[in-house]
């Protein structure tokens, strides 16, 4: 058995759980490939595309810094910083000092980036519609809520795995 929580076991078997994991991995793999291809349409890597679109969406509510982008995308601040530097060099993001805290920066998309994202939306809409077309509104909201909850669980799981790996290394 690969799980111990009774609510995840059916008739003493973890096969349904394992199938769900395999389906989730398949979905995740395809979603990452779709992200990469969407980025490719506008000349970006998948991660750069995700960061650019996150900056665009988050900046509608307030000034956006690296930490907000990294938290939103569940990526490290160092990784987001490197990718933002590439986007700045490409003329897609402007970066300037935060007037309230000179140690931090504010990032925003440029007009050039907005034009690319507007152009991409013609492709992105039918792609997203196809991905989630099998879900009705209630199922979509439930899926979105579940995905948010599962991210927290994966953070805890990664911490446990890092700890176990460190324990193993210290024994050898």
In the numeric block, the tokens 């979603």 are attached to 31
Give per-residue pLDDT as tens, 78-132: 999 999 999 999 999 999 998 888 888 999 999 999 999 999 999 999 999 999 9
Q: Is the pLDDT of residue 156 over 90?
A: no
CATH of the domain spanning 12-134: 1.10.10.10
Split at pLDDT 50, 70, 90, the class of 141 is very high
Whole-angstrom distance, CA of residue 145 vs CA of residue 132? 15
> Is residue 34 classed exposed, middle or buried when 0-12, 13-18 and 19+ CB atoms within 10 A define those classes?
middle
Every domain of the chain and the residues it spans: 12-134, 136-172
Whole-angstrom distance, CA of residue 26 vs CA of residue 20? 10
Give per-residue pLDDT as tens, 44-68: 999 999 999 999 999 998 899 999 9
């Amino acid at each position: 058995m690969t799980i111990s929580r009774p609510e995840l076991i059916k008739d003493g078997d973890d096969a349904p759980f394992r199938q769900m994991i395999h389906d989730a991995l398949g979905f995740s793999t395809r979603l990452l490939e779709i992200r990469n291809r969407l980025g490719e349409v506008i000349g970006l890597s998948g991660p750069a595309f995700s960061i650019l679109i996150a900056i665009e969406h988050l900046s509608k509510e307030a000034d956006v810094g690296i930490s907000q982008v990294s938290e939103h995308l569940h990526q490290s601040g160092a990784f987001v910083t490197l990718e933002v530097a590439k986007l700045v060099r490409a003329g897609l993001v402007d970066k300037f000092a935060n007037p309230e805290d000179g140690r931090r920066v504010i990032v925003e998309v440029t007009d050039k980036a907005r034009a690319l994202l507007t152009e991409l939306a013609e492709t992105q809409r039918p792609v997203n519609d196809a991905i989630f077309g099998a879900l009705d509104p209630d199922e979509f909201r439930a899926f979105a809520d579940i995905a948010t909850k599962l991210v927290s669980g994966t953070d805890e799981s990664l911490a446990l795995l890092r700890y176990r790996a460190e324990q193993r290394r210290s024994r050898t």
